[in-house]
Every structure is written in C-alpha cells, then in structure tokens.
Structure 1
C-alpha cells in the first residue's frame, strides 16, 4: 500500500497543482514522519549515508542526502569517463546525422533537447547515454570527466515522468522536460551533460562553482528521481566492453574512455 502511494506521488505526479502540494509536503517538517517508511520501501542503504535517518528533518533532505566520503570510488585513469550518478543505464546508441536518437522505440531530437543549433553539429554521429535515477537512488550528480565548462543553459518548464514508462509512452520527455545542460570541453573533445527533471519545475540545483570540473566531484543534485543524458562528440568516446543495458551503475564507476 505504501509503495503504491509513494510511486503515485514521486514517480507519476506531473500536474502543476499536485506537484506543488507534494513539493510543499516534502519540504515540510511533518514529512519527517514518513522518512523511515520511505527508506524501508525503497531499500535505501543507510550504511553509506553521511547522516542517520533520524537526522533528516524532511523527506526532501533525505532525497538530496550526501554520502560518506569513502562511499564511492572514482576511477582515476586519465582517459576514463565515469558514471555521474547512481542510476540504471537505460540506453546507449549513436546520434544520427539527422540529430535523432531512438529510445524505447521513440525518436527524440538532440537539436530540440539542446535548443541550440550552433552546438548541435559537433554531436552529430556521436554517442548518447541515458542514465535513469529512481527515487531509491542517491540524487547527487558528479562530473563524468575532467574539463572546462564552456556553456550552461536551461530549457523547458513542465516535467513529466522519465522512468521507463515515461520514456516509452510520454511525449518527448527527454527533449521537452525542464532540463539543465552543461557543455564541457575536455582535451579530447566536447561532452554535454543534460540533467532532465522528472517532476517539479526547477528541481535541479547546480552546486559547482567556477568553470573547472574535476572527474568525480559533485556538480548538481536532483530533488527527485530523474535522468541524466550524456552526449559525446563524434569519435571521442569508446564504451566499456562490460556494459550492457539495462545496467545498474554507481557514481565513479568507469563507463568508457575518451580518445583522440
């Protein structure tokens, strides 16, 4: 019963008023009473949390929890690309010359997702990767590469579910939802990190300062479960041979390498 309730509230709600109500509830002190049951239903790993459940004053604070410093090991190889999030890798594939990608049998436009034709051309014939975060996942986002932020921008207003059902049956969720894009210049080429909201307007908070990103360092967080889309410029990314979709992955684990 509780699991159904949480799923309806956290994963499926997208109306303006219902989302507003849930947002207020999650940030209200009274929501602390559901923290233990939420942690139990979603099997949260309490041993890796920086705080105990009793220290979270609201449900929102539990969502954006931090982990112990030794909870995630970051791959240190110079050319490696690491997972920016704890998530399920749902899909990986080529970005077509037409700027299209195919996800769950649906066609999405990278041009529409980025909203910037000038930046689009470098990603044509490149590679995309989609990482889905459920409500059970750690919601902090870390940089997958070392590099310099050359541009960061925001698009979209309303956010619909981006779980596997939302991707399959929703209306262009990856390219229409509220999203924050960060383009990074590495020594190998460009990588775009697209953070896609799942519900609530402005549910993505940027935490990194300045323009320099260090692989494995925190750069943002989601207030609720959502999706990260990685876009790699043509010919610079090679997927790790051990990865098949769907695949559970954690922050810092190697997902591939960058090459010249």
Structure 2
C-alpha cells in the first residue's frame, strides 16, 4: 500500500512543468528568504563554505556552493582512489554476469543504466559503488583518480527521487533518471562514473575542460541532492577494508586502491 501511494505521489510531482516551476523558484531572488531555514533544517556546516550564507542570492547558489580551500584534503596514498563526493555509501558489490546490482533489496539493470552493452563487458566481475548525496551535502563532483577521459554520453529523461525510499519503491531511478556518464582510463584499466540526476531538478553541469584529470579535480556539480555510481573494471580495484555500507564519506577520503590486473 505504501509503495503504491509513494509511486502515485512521485508520478504527480515528476511532471516536467512542476520541475520547471521548482527550478525557476530555486534560481529566483524570492527563494533567498528560505536560505537560513534551509541551512538550519539540513544542518549545513557553514564554517566550511567559501562564502557567507547572507551573500547567496538564491537557493541554487547554496546548492552549488564551493568550500574553503583545504577543507577537503585529497588522500595521497599511492594508487589510491578517493570519494568523488560528500555522500553516504548507499551500496557496493560486484557486477554479476547478468549485469545487475541489488540496491535496498531491489535489482537494477546496470546494462540499462549504462546503455552500452559492449562497453560494459569489461566491467563484469568488477566492483560497483553507489554514493547518495542528500540536500545538505556539498554538491560538487570531483575525480576519484587521475586519468584520461575517453568517453562521455547522456541518457534518461526522468527525475525520480534517489533517496532510500526512491531506491526501494521508486520506478528504477538509477536506470530511468537523467544521467551523464564519463569513462576514465587510468594506468591499470578503466573506471566509469555515472552521475544521476535527482527529483525535480535534473541539472548536471560539467565544470572540467580537457581530457586529462588529476585525482581531486572538480568535474561537475549537481543542482540538487543526487547520486554517483562508480564502476571499476574487473581486477583493477581493491575496496578500502574500513569502508562500510551506509557510511558517510567526504570528497578526497580514501575508498580503495588501484591494482594491476
């Protein structure tokens, strides 16, 4: 019963017109009256912000805020891979031959999420990690490793929520939502980053120019809470043993190391 009610509510609020109205409001000066209450309700750490709260002109500027230099140090472990976002690690596991993954008890098609079956072949048997960003989190996305961008593409047109209720009861947000995908080649193989748009506002803006990235470089930002999925080619990544499911992580925090196949 709850599942059906939830899905009806999402269908009603997922209309393109509703999304446009919400986006228009969040970018308007009128939304500035909500800045203080938003920061209080979501317990945003204002001491980390590069600017004072009163200087933001609307909610969107707060969503895409930058941080003070040095508050997100990038781990320098040799061959280390770091968290690309401030988030909670929603799930991780191995990509099975059926090209599926289980999140909150629900099976998702990685093949549909990626939209390129041939490209996905090399990731079978490799590790996937899902990072969920809440509305309180820093919304900028950084590169988890150093490498070269070899491929970028865009899929999807929905904006279902990607929180725990959306993952469990929603209509496959990881495979239906608007998403931008970036494949990186590093010295030991390939890694695929899937940036998944969230409820209402699907904007994912690229900020990095050029093909080469260094670990910790800013790559893009979300204009609302959302999700990042990392896929590692089989045999190229070892998960940090200190990482656990539903654990909060910060940009630059060590999540594992690369290894030679």
The answer to whether the 8 A contact 1:158-1:201 is kept is no
Match of 1:85, SS state, is coil
Cα distance in 1 between the residues matched to 2:154 and 2:42? 30
Q: Could you tell me which residue of structure 2 aligns to residue 129 of structure 1?
A: 129
Q: CA deviation at 1:68?
A: 0.5
The answer to whether the 8 A contact 2:80-2:256 is kept is yes
Q: Could you tell me which residue of structure 2 aligns to residue 5 of structure 1?
A: none
Q: CA deviation at 1:202?
A: 4.2
Q: Could you tell me which residue of structure 1 aligns to residue 215 of structure 2?
A: 215
Q: Could you tell me which residue of structure 2 aligns to residue 44 of structure 1?
A: 44
Q: Could you tell me which residue of structure 2 aligns to residue 87 of structure 1?
A: 87
Match of 2:161, SS state, is coil
Cα distance in 2 between the residues matched to 1:201 and 1:118? 31
Q: Could you tell me which residue of structure 1 aligns to residue 151 of structure 2?
A: 151
The answer to whether the 8 A contact 1:185-1:191 is kept is yes
Gaps of 5+ in 2: 1-11
Distance 1:202 1:165, change over 3 A: closer
Cα distance in 1 between the residues matched to 2:202 and 2:109? 22
Report Cα offsets for 1:189-247 as digits up to 9, x if no partner: 10001000013464100110011111111000000000000000001111101111110
Q: CA deviation at 1:257?
A: 0.6
RMSD (CA atoms): 1.1
The answer to whether the 8 A contact 1:14-1:161 is kept is no
The answer to whether the 8 A contact 1:63-1:224 is kept is yes
Does residue 1:97 correspond to 2:115, yes or no? Answer: no
Gaps of 5+ in 1: 1-11
Q: After alignment, is 99-108 or 15-24 more displaced?
A: 15-24
Match of 1:228, SS state, is strand
Cα distance in 1 between the residues matched to 2:161 and 2:250? 22
The answer to whether the 8 A contact 1:180-1:195 is kept is yes
Q: CA deviation at 1:153?
A: 0.4
Q: After alignment, is 12-21 or 51-60 more displaced?
A: 12-21
Cα distance in 1 between the residues matched to 2:223 and 2:92? 25
Distance 1:255 1:228, change over 3 A: same
Does residue 1:116 correspond to 2:116, yes or no? Answer: yes
Q: Could you tell me which residue of structure 1 aligns to residue 4 of structure 2?
A: none
Q: Could you tell me which residue of structure 2 aligns to residue 139 of structure 1?
A: 139
Distance 1:246 1:201, change over 3 A: closer
The answer to whether the 8 A contact 2:18-2:200 is kept is no
Distance 1:131 1:13, change over 3 A: farther
The answer to whether the 8 A contact 1:178-1:201 is kept is no
> Normalising to structure 2: TM-score of the pair?
0.93
Q: CA deviation at 1:17?
A: 2.1
Cα distance in 2 between the residues matched to 1:14 and 1:87? 24
Does residue 1:32 correspond to 2:38, yes or no? Answer: no
What is the number of residues matched between the two proteins?
Answer: 249
Q: Could you tell me which residue of structure 2 aligns to residue 204 of structure 1?
A: 204
The answer to whether the 8 A contact 2:88-2:249 is kept is yes
